[in-house]
Amino acid sequence: MSESLASTSSSTPPASGGIALHSVTVTYQRHPALHHLSGRFEPGSMTAVVGPNGAGKTTLLRALAGDLLLQSGHVDGLAAQRMAWLPQHSEIDRGFPISVREMVMHGLWHQLGAWGWRRASHRAACDQALAAVGMTGMEQRPIDTLSGGQMQRALFARLILEDASVILLDEPFAAVDEPTSADLLRLIAQWQREGKTVITVLHDLRLVRLHFPQTLLLARQAVAWGPTDRVLTEANWLRAQHMREPFDEHAPLCVHTEPSACTASPPASAQPVKEALAWPR
């Protein structure tokens, strides 16, 4: 990681109020994927979102990014902030005839827009971001020659240029090797030191314990949310596993209107999953 990175991103104003969720519910065909989720991402915090499959982790990111309509509840504190989002399965056409530098340069859209003239300073910022992810020398490579890990590094370089104050990452290390994820984790930590709010969906609890101060354990509702060592306990993990993965086709209407009425305990209709995932130590 280059030390010059801080100067690339120094223009980020520190996030002021954090992001507050008030009883956020998102439904698919009326079944809640996120159920009365309330809580707060502190400004400049670095939070891992973990939970079993179908827990609503990606739904939460999409809801924060404004990609989904909330069925009820609201989110405060995002209006004034610029947000960057790296989806798990990006729709990038890997066969598109474009160089790494040209692709990464799109991260400057907030400065250049559709018609802004690209100056030498923009190119320099782009090459600096590529250097920060260890891709110096690959600026001219067509993107169809990149490996999966190199592509992820390039997408992180684009995130650097986006210079957003809130960064949402969905499984950013799903398909990358150990050295690459270590490099990218250092970058995420640096973003946090610069005052950016980083929210990352992760499966690897070992990485979460090592690198993420805050954790939200999600099972459609928040099973636990706070300092990682207090959230990632065996008891909490088992409670999260109790959530039934398929929607209950005969679920009754949810009549709770008060956020506090929905507790962190699994709904009464939930049955223990027979083969609960082992508690990863």
DSSP state of 99: B
**DSSP string computed for 230-251:** HHS-HHHHHHHHTS-SS--TTP
**Residue span binding other proteins (CB under 8 A) among the ranges 51-59, 108-116, 196-204, 264-272:** 108-116
**How many Å apart are CA 86 and CA 66, to the nearest integer?**
14
110 is an interface residue for other proteins by CB under 8 A: yes
65 is an interface residue for other proteins by CB under 8 A: yes
Task: State which of positions 144-173 bind other proteins (CB under 8 A).
Answer: 144, 162
Q: How far is the CB of 169 from other proteins (least distance, A)?
A: 14
136 is an interface residue for other proteins by CB under 8 A: no
98 is an interface residue for other proteins by CB under 8 A: yes
Task: State which of positions 114-133 bind other proteins (CB under 8 A).
Answer: 114-115
- Is residue 248 a contact partner of residue 269, using CB atoms and an 8 Å limit? yes
Label residue 208 exposed, middle or buried (CB < 10 Å: 0-12, 13-18, 19+): buried
Of 143, 183, 138, 176, residue with least CA distance to 160? 183
Nearer to other proteins by Cβ, of 94 and 230: the residue is: 94
Q: How big is the site for other proteins, counted in residues (CB under 8 A)?
A: 22
106 is an interface residue for other proteins by CB under 8 A: yes
75 is an interface residue for other proteins by CB under 8 A: no
147 φ/ψ sector (left φ>0, alpha ψ -120 to 50, else beta): beta
For binding to other proteins (CB under 8 A), which residues are involved? 65, 85, 87, 90-93, 96-99, 103, 106, 109-110, 112-115, 142, 144, 162
